[in-house]
Amino acid sequence: MFLAPFGVLFAAMYAVPVGYAIVESLHKMQRSGLGLTPPKRVYAGFENYTKALHDDALWHGVGRVLLFGAIQVPVMLGLALVLALLLDAKSARLKGFFRTAYFLPYAIPGVVATILWAFLYMPRSSPVVSMLDAVGLPSDFLGEDAVLWSIANVVTWTWTGYNMLVIYSALQAIPQELYEAAELDGCGPWRTAWRIKVPLVAPAIALTTVFSVIGTLQLYTEPRVLRPLTSSLDADYTPIMSAYHKAVENNDYGQGAAVSVLLALGTCVLSFAVLKISARLTNGRSSL
Amino acid sequence: MTTLTDKPASPARAQVAPPAPKPAKGRTAPMRSQVLTTSFLFLVATYFLMPVWWLLVSSTKSSSDLFGSNGFWFADWNLGANLRQLFDQDGGIFLRWVLNSVLYAVGGGLVATFLAAMAGYGLAKYDFRGRGTIFSVILGAVLIPTPMLALPIYLMLSKVHLVDTIWAVLLPAAVSPFGVFLAKTYAEASVPDELIEAARLDGASEFRIFRTIGLRIMSPALVTIFLFQLVAVWNNFFLPLITLNNQHLWPVTLGLNAWNSDPNQPHANLVVVGALVSVLPLVAAFRSLQRFWRTDLVAGGVKA
């Protein structure tokens, strides 16, 4: 009935690929010693998984993405929360203009955003680099150490406005009487923001956190677009790049599928952890 | 929340104070904090708008000015020439890319929205066995990052020979578990059961009730789902990158990336003006649909 059309496509585009990836991850191509006969697909058990778990390049990618998330997600969501609170505060002017300005990057595709920032990172074209040079601050945005944070900047630029809008909508839903009561209790604007607004929008913050964490783990577009422009990014720079590299460029589907399955499992565990932690924090605060 | 012992003076003062100045004081903030807040907001706005300004300025520049003049200010006006070159390059393939993007994003978005509306309405308004399980599975799917699915989808589509056809992008674009989630939440809250009952008594078929009542009431949610999916498909990079070899099928993001990938940047001015042109349709879509776009659905969804 109503579910059927969605269900069919959902099964085809979600359930079947997931199942297929799991099956594929348990197989490998066996080449004969002389390479005279075409390779055969044979059952490999968990061989692909043990290989993936012993893959240093993959672990480096995972570590890199986790470090990225540990810094970028709090910075971005902190900024989004501050902006949402300020736009919700009485002292802000030109709210409509600011909301549009902050949200605009969301309408710019990740590829285009990265291309834009790449022009602003490359010494040859960047007015920013030449300005920093002029004041005696040489910068190398695409260097080995800096490039991860240059990517973080692109992601922050693209997604802060979207997250701000989600939190802002939650703020708008708070009944006005609560503020009046707070004011009668002698709450200043800071106290109201911290003790009333933040706890009440905690579910929205939790949701944006989960989506940001997922977004971090699937980091791909930005480094992939920057890769041709700098030598600081290798083929295994992020886990997704690694999976693609193995499956398509190295023609080892089983290995790529195993990495994908491991990543999906890792993502689920991490998102559930974030949900659990944020649920505990929210409960802890409202019971005060 | 705040205990009385915190500030014993305040409730007393509130009672004593004359009622008139209170709301006035609440409405306008002190001048100093207005200035501070607004300057901070301006500063942040500068950060968000800087690359956009750079893009606007740079799209008017020739290749040599792009690298030879101040990036934040205009040099010789070459916008017309850039645009002509953009649409002439490689036999006018850029327009083809834009149209492909429109087809994938609008086509996929419309189908995804309609299917999500049906599924969400069904889950919200009919009680049947396994409803909870189905909903949990769909919700779980929201948590699977699309790039992790892209690889298996690619492997699967290559088995059925759909790789390198428009279906490789359109079929995945037509499924939106997040859309189902939003539609279900919204239908539960806003489509009254009494209305459905009344329509049933009038002899309307279930599908007709959905079409005439459900869809209409759910329209704010549908616009939101459509915009989300539109943006997601327009932005999608990984899936078309691995499933499409034929550059005549590429969406505009893939094409721009290909032009940009040459380290010597022979097409730099085309990449810049192309980036500007590729952004315009999305900005236009947002401007026209902004009034109906409801982010509070996303925020409210978690509480349910």
Q: What is the pLDDT of residues B200-209, one digit of tens each?
A: 988 888 888 8
pLDDT at B228 over 90: no
Per-residue pLDDT tens digits for B36-73: 888 899 999 999 999 999 999 888 888 777 777 777 88
pLDDT at B304 over 50: no
Regarding predicted confidence, which is higher, A288 or B122? B122
How close B33 comes to chain A (CA, Å)?
Answer: 6
pLDDT at B104 over 90: yes
Confidence of residue A248 (pLDDT cuts 50, 70, 90): confident
Confidence of residue B12 (pLDDT cuts 50, 70, 90): very low
How many beta-carbon pairs below 8 A join chains A and B?
294
What is the chain A residue with the closest CA to B16?
Answer: A184
Question: Which A residues 266-285 touch B at CB under 8 Å?
Answer: 267-268, 271
pLDDT at B102 over 90: yes
Per-residue pLDDT tens digits for B240-264: 988 898 989 999 999 999 888 876 6
B48 contact residues in A (CB cutoff 8 A) = 101-102, 104-105, 157, 160-161
Are residues A220 and B177, on separate chains, in Cβ contact within 8 Å?
no
- For domain B92-261, the question of CATH label 1.10.3720.10 is answered with yes
B299 contact residues in A (CB cutoff 8 A) = 166-167, 169-170, 173, 201, 203-204, 207
Confidence of residue A38 (pLDDT cuts 50, 70, 90): low
pLDDT at res. B17 = 39
How close B225 comes to chain A (CA, Å)?
Answer: 14
Give Cα B109 distance to the centre of its chain. Answer: 10
Per-residue pLDDT tens digits for B258-293: 888 876 667 888 888 899 999 888 888 887 777 766
pLDDT at A14 over 50: yes
Strand partners, A30: A40
Domains of chain A: 47-104+156-284 (1.10.3720.10)
Average pLDDT for chain A:
83
pLDDT at res. B48 = 93
Are residues B206 and A1, on separate chains, in Cβ contact within 8 Å?
yes
Mean pLDDT computed over B172-178: 89
Are residues B237 and A220, on separate chains, in Cβ contact within 8 Å?
yes
pLDDT at B11 over 50: no
Rounded distance between C-alpha atoms, residue A234 and residue A241, angstroms: 9
pLDDT at B84 over 50: yes
Nearest to A186 among B7, B33, B122 (CB): B7
pLDDT at B135 over 80: yes
Per-residue pLDDT tens digits for A109-156: 889 999 989 888 887 777 887 778 777 777 778 888 888 999 999 999
How close A34 comes to chain B (CA, Å)?
Answer: 27
Confidence of residue A36 (pLDDT cuts 50, 70, 90): low
Share of chain A above pLDDT 90, in %: 16
What residue spans define the domains of chain B? 92-261
Nearest to A13 among B13, B172, B210 (CB): B172
How close A152 comes to chain B (CA, Å)?
Answer: 14
pLDDT at res. B249 = 92
Regarding predicted confidence, which is higher, B71 or A243? A243
Nearest to B37 among A92, A228, A229 (CB): A92
Say if CB B14 and CB A184 are below 8 A apart. yes
Are residues A115 and B271, on separate chains, in Cβ contact within 8 Å?
yes
Confidence of residue A283 (pLDDT cuts 50, 70, 90): low
Are residues B2 and A224, on separate chains, in Cβ contact within 8 Å?
no
Average pLDDT for chain B:
81
Of the listed ranges A24-28, A126-130, A237-241, B166-170, the least confidently predicted one is: A126-130
pLDDT at res. A233 = 86
Say if CB A142 and CB A58 are below 8 A apart. no
Are residues A125 and B67, on separate chains, in Cβ contact within 8 Å?
yes
A115 in contact with B at a CB cutoff of 8 Å?
Answer: yes
Regarding predicted confidence, which is higher, A34 or B59? B59
pLDDT at res. A284 = 52
How close B91 comes to chain A (CA, Å)?
Answer: 22
Mean pLDDT computed over B135-163: 82
Nearest to A127 among B11, B38, B70 (CB): B70
A228 contact residues in B (CB cutoff 8 A) = 260-263
pLDDT at B144 over 70: yes
pLDDT at B14 over 90: no
How close B123 comes to chain A (CA, Å)?
Answer: 8
Are residues B171 and A10, on separate chains, in Cβ contact within 8 Å?
no
Locus of tokens 């037509």: B174
Regarding predicted confidence, which is higher, A74 or A94? A74
A21 contact residues in B (CB cutoff 8 A) = 151-152, 155
Are residues A112 and B237, on separate chains, in Cβ contact within 8 Å?
no
Provide the whole-model pTM. Answer: 0.82
pLDDT at B239 over 50: yes
Q: What is the DSSP string of chain A?
A: -TTHHHHHHHIIIIIHHHHHHHHHHTEEEE--TTS-SPPEEEE-TTHHHHHHHT-HHHHHHHHHHHHHHHHHHHHHHHHHHHHHHHHHSTT---HHHHHHHHHGGGGS-HHHHHHHHHHHHSTTT-HHHHHHHHTT----TTSTTTHHHHHHHHHHHHHHHHHHHHHHHHHHTS-HHHHHHHHHTT--HHHHIIIIIHHHTHHHHHHHHHHHHHHHHT--HHHHHHGGG-TT--TTSSHHHHHHIIIIIS--HHHHHHHHHHHHHHHHHHHHHHHHHHHHHHHHHHT-
A183 in contact with B at a CB cutoff of 8 Å?
Answer: yes
Share of chain B above pLDDT 70, in %: 85
Nearest to A110 among B66, B235, B282 (CB): B235
B37 contact residues in A (CB cutoff 8 A) = 86, 89, 91-93
A125 contact residues in B (CB cutoff 8 A) = 66-67, 71, 268
pLDDT at res. A229 = 81
Confidence of residue A211 (pLDDT cuts 50, 70, 90): confident
What is the chain B residue with the closest CA to A23?
Answer: B152
3-state secondary structure (DSSP) of residue B72: coil
Are residues A187 and B2, on separate chains, in Cβ contact within 8 Å?
yes
B206 contact residues in A (CB cutoff 8 A) = 1
